[in-house]
Amino acid sequence: MNREVKMRAMIRERYGEPAKVLKLKEIARPEAGEGQVLVRVHAAGLHRGDCFVVRGKPFLMRMATGWLKPKVASPGFDVAGVVEAVGSGVTGFAPGDEVFGSTEGASGACAEFALAKASGLAHKPGNISFEEAAAVPTSALAALHGLRAGGLQAGQRLLINGASGGVGSFAVQIGKALGAEVTGVCSTKNLEMVRTLGADRVVDYTHVDFAKGSDTYDLILDNVENRSLSDIRRTLRPQGTALLNSGTGASGLKLMWRLAKPMLLGPFVSQNLKRYLSVPKPEDLEVLRSMLEEGQITPAVEQVFALEDVVEAFGRLCTGHAAGKIVLRVG
Any bridge partners for residue 46, and if so which? 326
Q: Which CATH fold would you assign to the domain 6-136+299-329? A: Quinone Oxidoreductase; Chain A, domain 1 (3.90.180)
Buried b (16+ CB within 10 A) or exposed e, 318-328: beeebbbbbbb
Write out the E strands in 198-306.
201-204, 217-222, 236-244, 272-274, 301-306
| Alpha carbon separation from 257 to 247, 265, 274 (Å, rounded) | 11, 12, 14
Give residue 99's Cα distance to chain centre.
Answer: 18
Angle between the N-to-C axes of helices 310-317 and 48-55, in degrees from 0 to 180, rounded to the nearest 10: 110
pLDDT at residue number 217: 98
- Rounded distance between C-alpha atoms, residue 231 and residue 233, angstroms: 5
Q: How many CB atoms lie within 10 A of CB 172?
A: 32
Compute the mean pLDDT over every residue in the chain, rounded to the nearest whole number. 93
pLDDT tens-digit profile of 64-101?
A: 889 999 999 999 999 999 999 999 999 999 999 999 99
pLDDT band at 256 (very low <50, low <70, confident <90, very high): confident
Domains 6-136+299-329 and 142-274 agree in fold? no
What class is the 142-274 domain?
A: alpha beta
pLDDT at residue number 250: 59
- The answer to whether residues 255 and 247 touch, using CB atoms and an 8 Å cutoff, is yes
| Alpha carbon separation from 289 to 150, 195, 297 (Å, rounded) | 22, 23, 9
Rg (CA), the chain: 20
Strand bridging mode 236-244 / 272-274:
parallel
pLDDT tens-digit profile of 186-209?
A: 999 999 999 999 999 999 999 999
- Rounded distance between C-alpha atoms, residue 187 and residue 204, angstroms: 5
Q: Model pTM? A: 0.94
Q: Give the sign of the dihedral formed by CA 79, CA 83, CA 87, CA 88.
A: positive
Average of per-residue pLDDT across 132-138 = 98
Q: Of 168 and 61, which is predicted with more confidence?
A: 168
Domain borders along the chain are 6-136+299-329, 142-274
Average of per-residue pLDDT across 305-317 = 96
pLDDT band at 1 (very low <50, low <70, confident <90, very high): very low
| Alpha carbon separation from 301 to 10, 41, 129, 201, 305 (Å, rounded) | 21, 18, 11, 21, 11
Average of per-residue pLDDT across 23-27 = 96
